[in-house]
């Protein structure tokens, strides 16, 4: 996929107990057209976020297995880590999003109640500001059999930092990915 840019952040280890089917984290690939957004295997992630912060652009992420293995998941009823962003610079902002689907049952559509981060709730951070679930948040993840997919959300609320009575910003958006073996 032309136009993807290589992230500047380093790789992070997969979660404990993760195998190649769910080890999909940001990678510090080379520059220009290398990696998932060029000819090597992995994920090419397109980000489009609006609201209190605006981010648009692409990044690449590592896939340690095949695209089909990613789509199948580790085991029936296990968790599937979505392709992650670990402080990758996209559109001039550092974006982190490491979420997973609980009780993954294979390709399909998954709603907010089964999507979470390592901390237990959906989390997307832009620069150093975390955005998390609010009462009005909607979220959905779609995994296709070829390993491609998307994660969309509306109304993630800026995390409670400092004074909880201060109005907080909201973001909505998506990140979608293609997978290349």
Which stretches in the chain have pLDDT values below 50? Answer: 1-36
Distance CA 80, CA 85 (A): 15
Q: Say which residue the tokens 């990758």 belong to.
A: 88
Residue with the two structure tokens 């995390």:
159
Say what the pTM is: 0.78
User: What is residue 7's three-state secondary structure?
Assistant: coil
Q: Look up residue 133 and give its two tokens.
A: 């679930």
The b/e string for 69-86 (b: 16+ C-beta within 10 A; e otherwise) is bbbbbbeeebbbbbbbbb
pLDDT value of residue 37 = 78
Sheet with strand 80-81: strands edge to edge: 80-81, 99-101, 115-117
Q: What tens digit of pLDDT does each residue of 4-49 get? A: 433 333 333 333 333 333 344 444 433 333 444 776 789 999 999 9
CB 117 within 8 A of CB 81: no
- Taking alpha carbons only, the member of 105, 107, 80, 71 closest to residue 181 is 71
């Amino acid at each position: 996929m032309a136009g993807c840019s290589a992230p500047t952040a380093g790789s992070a280890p997969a979660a404990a107990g993760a195998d190649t089917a769910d080890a999909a984290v940001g990678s510090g690939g080379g520059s220009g057209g290398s990696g998932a957004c060029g000819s090597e295997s992995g994920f090419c992630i397109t980000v489009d976020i609006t609201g209190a912060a605006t981010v648009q652009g692409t990044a690449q992420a590592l896939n340690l297995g095949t695209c089909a293995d990613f789509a199948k998941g580790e085991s029936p009823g296990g968790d599937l880590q979505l392709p992650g962003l670990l402080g990758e610079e996209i559109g001039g902002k550092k974006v982190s999003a490491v979420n997973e689907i609980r009780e993954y049952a294979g390709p399909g559509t998954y709603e907010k109640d089964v999507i979470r981060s390592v901390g237990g709730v959906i989390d997307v951070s832009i620069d150093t500001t975390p955005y998390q679930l609010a009462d009005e948040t909607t979220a959905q993840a779609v995994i296709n059999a070829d390993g491609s997919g998307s994660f969309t959300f509306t109304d993630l609320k800026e995390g409670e930092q400092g004074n909880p009575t201060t109005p907080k910003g909201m973001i909505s958006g998506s990140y979608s990915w293609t997978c290349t073996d």
